[in-house]
């Protein structure tokens, strides 16, 4: 049997408008088979005129069984009036009738308003609170902006676009309040509850979903770009999402198909599994990639300098670490650490899209050192960094900052920023010449 899947996405309060949409699909030869959270499945039929009825079942919901005694008794009432049950979507129940003469089932407006407020509207409020809580948590982790955010595509996307998702939910929430108020006003003044037109329902489906889906696509593209440089980190970042989705899908499946209402048991199991997953992810730290670096290979792609170019002693390096990444505003970035028995060098190189973003990187680098390391909601190991005009003139830099304790130099020239520390004399002309020739020529 031929089937096709269509993006559903209708706003929950426009449920009555979907009756006309389903009737139009039947005339085109497609009959509704089932509806998920976002996708509706249709099966191929002979084009015909069908009547649809969508009703709110107060005993339904995302964590309620479709096969409970209460649900079967509820559907039986409709079947006795000539309506055939198709499927459900949380509180919404979908019925159809082949006999065009069947009258539509009309619920008293006062009762309809009560159902909308107690079920559909409450669900919208819960969704907004859930998305809002996640947004606040994520944003609290991202601000103030750190260098990690600036040099990864996913970090930038999450920081500057995540808020748009919450705003789109908030706009739909404000629209919902307006609809609920209008329904109350209509009922109190003796008017029928106005059913939105299908055309307007389709417009809301587009505008309420365009932002979340656009952001999701940008997130996906950003993750693909970052996975080239740091696959382990990207996979670890998405693991909670995939784990939560998988647990949620399995949970809903068992609840929907069970004959008894065991939702409390299933939800308890799900919470336990999610808790175990979160603890496991929190305690898991992927091993840092430490390997012997082919310097010539890296030098072909990045401005590159090694410890041997600053020291007379040619000690064999005991540790070499190289990590690189990119973002939309910092196309080139890498971190390099080299340690020998007597010396060490740390380099962070940033090549920004333009001087403005390079200055943002410079200032963020300075602020990161001043704040220190974030740990359990507080900052540790903050250090004093100062912009040194004398060194700035010596290095002929646009911006320069110096941290004395660990001998760290951060300098910007046009669209490039270098953060370098270690066994280097930054007042030495030869060291200045080496760094300028390699990084800023």
Average pLDDT (141-151) is 72
Q: How confident is the model at residue 293 (pLDDT cuts 50, 70, 90)?
A: very low
With tokens 């929430």, the residue in question is 173
* CA 71 – CA 89 distance, rounded (Å): 13
CB–CB of 67/74 below 8 Å? no
Higher per-residue pLDDT: 307 or 107: 307
Q: Which pairs from 103-110 meet CB under 8 Å and 24+ separation?
A: 104/51, 104/53, 105/53, 105/55, 105/78, 105/81, 107/55, 109/186, 109/187, 109/192, 109/193, 110/187
* CA 1 – CA 275 distance, rounded (Å): 42
The predicted pLDDT at position 419 comes to: 92
3-state secondary structure of 395: helix
pTM: 0.67
pLDDT digits (tens, 9 = 90+) for 339-375: 887 788 899 999 999 999 999 999 988 888 887 766 6
Predicted confidence (pLDDT) at residue 390 exceeds the cutoff of 80: yes
The predicted pLDDT at position 57 comes to: 87
Among the listed residues 148, 90, 96, the one whose alpha carbon sits nearest the alpha carbon of residue 124: 90
CB–CB of 320/293 below 8 Å? yes
pLDDT digits (tens, 9 = 90+) for 397-412: 999 999 888 889 999 9
The predicted pLDDT at position 86 comes to: 93
With tokens 């991202």, the residue in question is 142
Q: What is the mean pLDDT of the chain?
A: 78
Q: Which of 98-102, 170-174, 179-183, 278-282 has the lowest mean pLDDT?
A: 278-282
Q: How confident is the model at residue 414 (pLDDT cuts 50, 70, 90)?
A: very high
CA 221 to chain centre: 12
Phi, psi of 368 (to 5 degrees): -60, -40
Average pLDDT (35-39) is 85
Q: Which of 29-33, 78-82, 158-162 has the lowest mean pLDDT?
A: 158-162
Higher per-residue pLDDT: 301 or 345: 345
The predicted pLDDT at position 384 comes to: 83
pLDDT digits (tens, 9 = 90+) for 212-241: 888 888 888 888 877 776 666 666 666 666
The two structure tokens encoding residue 379: 């900052």
Higher per-residue pLDDT: 136 or 377: 136
Sequence-distant (6+) residues with CB within 8 A of 21 are 10, 198, 201, 202
First vs last Cα of the chain: how many Å apart?
66
pLDDT digits (tens, 9 = 90+) for 418-440: 999 888 888 889 889 989 888 88
Higher per-residue pLDDT: 246 or 106: 246
Higher per-residue pLDDT: 264 or 51: 51
Q: How confident is the model at residue 71 (pLDDT cuts 50, 70, 90)?
A: confident
SS3 of the chain: helix, strand, coil, percent, to 5: 50, 20, 30
The predicted pLDDT at position 342 comes to: 77
Average pLDDT (324-334) is 86
Q: How confident is the model at residue 248 (pLDDT cuts 50, 70, 90)?
A: low
The two most distant CA atoms of the chain are separated, in Å, by 97
Predicted confidence (pLDDT) at residue 129 exceeds the cutoff of 70: yes
Strands 378-380 and 373-375: antiparallel
């Amino acid at each position: 049997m031929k089937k096709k899947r269509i993006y559903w996405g209708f706003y929950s309060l426009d449920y009555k408008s979907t009756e006309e949409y389903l009737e139009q699909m039947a005339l085109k030869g497609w009959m509704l088979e089932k509806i998920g959270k976002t996708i509706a499945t249709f099966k191929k039929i002979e084009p015909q005129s069908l009547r649809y009825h969508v009703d709110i079942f107060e005993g339904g919901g995302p964590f309620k069984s479709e096969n409970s005694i209460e649900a079967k008794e509820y559907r039986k009432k409709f079947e006795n009036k000539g309506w055939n049950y198709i499927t459900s979507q949380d509180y919404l129940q979908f019925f159809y009738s082949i006999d065009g003469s069947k009258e539509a089932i009309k619920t008293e407006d006062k009762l309809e308003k009560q159902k909308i407020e107690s079920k559909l509207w409450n669900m919208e409020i819960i969704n907004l609170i859930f998305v809002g809580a996640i947004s606040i948590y994520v944003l609290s982790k991202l601000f103030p902006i750190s260098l990690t955010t600036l040099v990864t595509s996913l970090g930038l996307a999450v920081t500057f676009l995540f808020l748009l998702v919450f705003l789109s939910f908030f706009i739909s929430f404000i629209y919902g309040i307006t609809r609920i108020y209008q329904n109350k006003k209509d009922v109190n003044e003796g008017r029928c509850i106005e059913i939105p037109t299908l055309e307007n329902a389709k417009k809301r489906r587009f505008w309420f979903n365009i932002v979340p889906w656009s952001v999701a696509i940008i997130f996906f593209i950003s993750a693909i770009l970052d996975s080239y440089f740091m696959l382990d980190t990207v996979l670890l970042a998405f693991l909670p999402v995939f784990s939560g989705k998988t647990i949620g899908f399995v949970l809903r499946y068992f609840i929907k198909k069970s004959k008894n209402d065991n939702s409390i048991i299933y939800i308890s199991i799900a919470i336990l599994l999610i808790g175990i997953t979160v603890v496991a992810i929190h305690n898991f730290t992927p091993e840092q990639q430490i390997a012997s670096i082919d310097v010539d290979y890296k030098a072909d792609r990045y401005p590159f300098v090694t410890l041997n170019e600053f020291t007379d002693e040619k000690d064999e390096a005991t540790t070499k670490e190289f990590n690189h990444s990119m973002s939309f505003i910092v196309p080139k970035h890498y971190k390099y650490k080299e340690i020998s028995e007597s010396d060490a060098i740390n380099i962070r190189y940033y090549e920004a899209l333009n001087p403005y973003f390079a200055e943002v990187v410079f200032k963020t680098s300075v602020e990161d050192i001043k704040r220190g390391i974030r740990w359990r909601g507080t900052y540790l190991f903050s250090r004093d960094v100062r912009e040194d005009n004398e060194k700035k003139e010596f290095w002929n830099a646009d911006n320069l900052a110096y941290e004395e304790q660990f001998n760290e130099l951060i300098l910007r020239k046009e669209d490039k920023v270098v953060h370098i520390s270690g066994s280097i004399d930054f007042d030495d002309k030869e060291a200045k010449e080496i760094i300028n020739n390699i990084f800023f020529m």
